[in-house]
Amino acid sequence: MNREIIIPIISVGCIYIGNTLYQWSLEGRKDIDWTHHHLGTFGFYIFCSSILFFTGFFTFAKQIIDLSKKNSNNKKNNDNNNNNNNISFNLYLISITILFLFCLISTLLEITKDVGATLIHHGQYNLLVLSGLLLFYISTFTIWWTLLRYFKFKQIIIGFIIFFILLFIIFEIKNVVIKKDWPIGIDGKKFMFFDKNDSKVCKISNDFIAWPSFIPKGSTWVVAGSRECPKDKGFSNLDYDNILHINCPSSNGDNEKSYTISPTFFEEQKEFGIFTNDFKTFEKQYKSKTFKYNDPVIIKDETVMATCGNKTEIHFQNVKKVSAHKRASNFNEPKLKFSTTTTTTTTNGDDDEKEIKIKTMKKEEKSKPIDILFLMIDALSRAHFKRALPSTFETLQAIQNKGESKVFQFFRYHSLKPFTDPNTIAMYTGYNSLNYDFTDKKNGLPSSASKHHPFNWQDNPMFFQSFRNDSYVTSWIYGLCEDWFQAYLKTDKPEDSIDHELVLPFCSPLAFPLERPFGIFEGPYSIRRRCLGNKHIHDKIFDYINQLWDNYYDVGKIVTATFMDAHEGTMEVIGIADKQFNRFIKEDMEQNLNDTVLFLVGDHGSHMGPYYMWAKGGSIEVSMPLLYIVLPTWFTNKYPHVEKYLLENENKLASPFQLYDTIRALSTFPEFGGIDVFDPTGENRKQTKGLLGPIPNDISCLDLGIPHDFCQLIK
């Protein structure tokens, strides 16, 4: 067989195998743990298929070009040559050209038939990785081909050697700087990879490259576009007095103005097949009503949609609830519903009555409890928080320097898995939802972790339920169209536990697109900015929190807010939020920090991009999420043991379970209400103080219920 036959056969073979491998990479299940365990395998399939595609199509195209040139030369040499050989040659050229086009079209159809963005159909993400690899190969080839046209091969090789030597030197210098900076935190304290003085302390590998630190900020703008939201004013606004204004262009006519309170988008979601079971609770809870707009109108609901012709805009606000405010105004004179004594069973089976004592404070000492602000940024590691939000990090350092608040950082805070479910369930409820394998159980997994009881609110209340509801107003802000309680716990939220729940705005097609809600270029997981109107979603959430703080300035507040800005593959979008996060903490909350405990928390690190899939540093960072706790200095001065343990535990291994225990332990201090409502006698949680109590130096992943296949500690 001659070369003209062998090359097309090899090319078709490469393309066929490439298509097969790519199809293998599209396998999906509704099991997020399985998906994360197979990301490396999928990445390998995509990488191999990209090489095979490039090789197959390149050799195929080159063969066609060479044959075309040969045919052209034959015609020039013999214009009258119409013999059978020439006809056969032309037929062969046409045949392989058709075969090339067939392979190209069939491959394009094959790799684009799945462009979904779900666990089962995740082709959109696969296609993005494949396209990036092919673009890299094509760019490299184009540069090489261009150089060969103008320089000799020897000159090119010498040039490349010099270039790569210089690049290596620059890389090594920068890597030394990055490696030195990676473990540094507030006050210059360091992440402890290992303790030279105590061999019992488990080590964490420091032999990795933090690749995201090498990527220039904003480098994705070519693909992702502007980082800023549109500057257009919009046709409507909801002012601070709760008044809605709609100003349609005169061409639309007044009869096209309307507004919808508590807008739901569930019927549209059903039409597009994206309505899931967890939305059914919202469907029962919220009933939208549409009214014709004539004049500025007071809106008493928290979410409203303004309509002008076929255009819509979403607004949301915090509306003070008089009943909630009245209920939470009893900090100094408790009005709890349970009796003054409770009965517990002793070890010998006898009933023992324990008196319930609430540690109260006089009004002249303090008229309201310390507020709690819990900001959870999905998929943000400690390292990437410092890397992507440098201004916010500097503000935390400035707060520490000022001295009115103390900033505590937890370098070895370790997630349970590289996805949301078990981490948020643990940090919010203390419940262990993990299923452990034989290895964990064989190694001596604690019985509390290995033996599951069915979830119930009595045994595992939300952390904010531990605080007195006669002293606190609660708010649950969830920056994703999802009912967290139904999605992860398969149950309704605790009855009457949340005064203000904000989810509806994030179900709008403007934030949760109907055709592709989890797409790469739109939606809550996109690599582009996330806007509602002319503001980023995170900025509008901060406005809502500020409004809530004003509405309930004289009572306790517990606000839990979830942000999705870090939940995407480029690790760039969260950087957009630095300006607003910094402003919110530095300016909006500055006067409140003296009476607020601030939690900055990640559930895990980045788990969607190539850094996580292929780099050692990514696997370490995904397990080491963000955790900062900011407390008023007067409080830590009053309770020096609190500061003592928080400082001691900054480099101790901890998990979301310890975070949950920490918050519940705060509820027992008089400044936070003086009692854990779900453990009023304090007997059940006497030993579970979380970060406010001692943690052994040699504590292991096994002790904390962290699965062995995710643990980053090295014995």
Residue 623's pLDDT band, with cuts at 50, 70 and 90, is very high
Class of the CATH domain delimited by 368-473+552-556+563-714? alpha beta
Q: Give the torsion through C-alpha atoms of 75, 76, 80, 83, to 10 deg.
A: -30
What tokens appear for 43 in the block? 């990445």
Residue 233 confidence (pLDDT) above 50: yes
Q: Give the torsion through C-alpha atoms of 175, 177, 178, 181, to 10 deg.
A: 160
Q: What is the mean pLDDT of residues 321-329?
A: 97
Half-sphere exposure of 136 (CA within 13 A, CB side): 9
Residue 352 confidence (pLDDT) above 90: no
Across the chain, mean pLDDT equals: 91
Residue 78's pLDDT band, with cuts at 50, 70 and 90, is low
Distance between CA atoms of residues 30 and 601, nearest Å: 27
Q: What is the mean pLDDT of residues 80-105?
A: 80
Residue 81 confidence (pLDDT) above 60: no
What pLDDT digit, counting tens, does each position of 697-707 carry? 989 999 999 99
Q: Which range among 26-40, 336-350, 532-546, 652-666 shows the weakest confidence by mean pLDDT?
A: 336-350
Residue 343's pLDDT band, with cuts at 50, 70 and 90, is very low
What pLDDT digit, counting tens, does each position of 501-524 carry? 999 999 999 999 998 898 888 999
Would strands 203-204 and 257-261 be described as parallel, antiparallel, or unpaired?
unpaired
Domain boundaries, the chain: 3-150, 236-316, 368-473+552-556+563-714
Would strands 531-532 and 311-316 be described as parallel, antiparallel, or unpaired?
unpaired
Angle at 549 between CA 547 and CA 551, to 5 degrees: 70
| Closest by Cα among 191, 560, 688, 624 to 416 | 624
Distance between CA atoms of residues 486 and 497, nearest Å: 15
Determine contact, residues 479/524, Cβ cutoff 8 Å. yes
Q: Is 574 left (phi over 0), alpha (psi -120 to 50) or beta?
A: alpha
Distance between CA atoms of residues 266 and 483, nearest Å: 13
Residue 241 confidence (pLDDT) above 60: yes
Residue 83's pLDDT band, with cuts at 50, 70 and 90, is low
pLDDT at 342: 47
Q: What percent of the chain has pLDDT over 70?
A: 94
What pLDDT digit, counting tens, does each position of 669-685 carry? 999 999 999 999 888 77
Distance between CA atoms of residues 448 and 460, nearest Å: 13
pLDDT at 93: 86
Backbone angles phi, psi at 317, to 5 degrees: -150, 165
Distance between CA atoms of residues 596 and 241, nearest Å: 26
Q: In what order do the strands lie in the sheet with 405-409?
A: 405-409, 627-632, 596-602, 371-377, 556-563, 472-478, 500-502
pLDDT at 339: 47
CA distances 166 to 163, 244, 262, Å, are 5, 61, 60
Residue 419 confidence (pLDDT) above 90: yes
Please name the residues in contact with 190: beta carbons below 8 A apart, sequence gap of 6 or more.
Answer: 183, 184, 411
Q: What is the mean pLDDT of residues 209-229?
A: 89
| Closest by Cα among 619, 623, 640 to 631 | 640
Q: What percent of the chain has pLDDT over 90?
A: 72
Q: What is the mean pLDDT of residues 336-356?
A: 55
Q: Report the DSSP beta bridge partners of residue 629.
A: 408, 599
Residue 327 or 520, more confident: 327
Distance between CA atoms of residues 122 and 32, nearest Å: 12
Q: Give the torsion through C-alpha atoms of 74, 80, 83, 89, to 10 deg.
A: 30
Would strands 535-536 and 303-308 be described as parallel, antiparallel, or unpaired?
unpaired
pLDDT at 346: 47
Q: What is the mean pLDDT of residues 583-595?
A: 96
Residue 222 or 148, more confident: 148
Distance between CA atoms of residues 362 and 331, nearest Å: 9
Give the E-state strand segments of 498-621 in sequence order: 500-502, 531-532, 535-536, 556-563, 596-602
Angle at 401 between CA 398 and CA 406, to 5 degrees: 95
pLDDT at 288: 94
Q: What is the mean pLDDT of residues 79-83?
A: 54
Residue 466's pLDDT band, with cuts at 50, 70 and 90, is very high
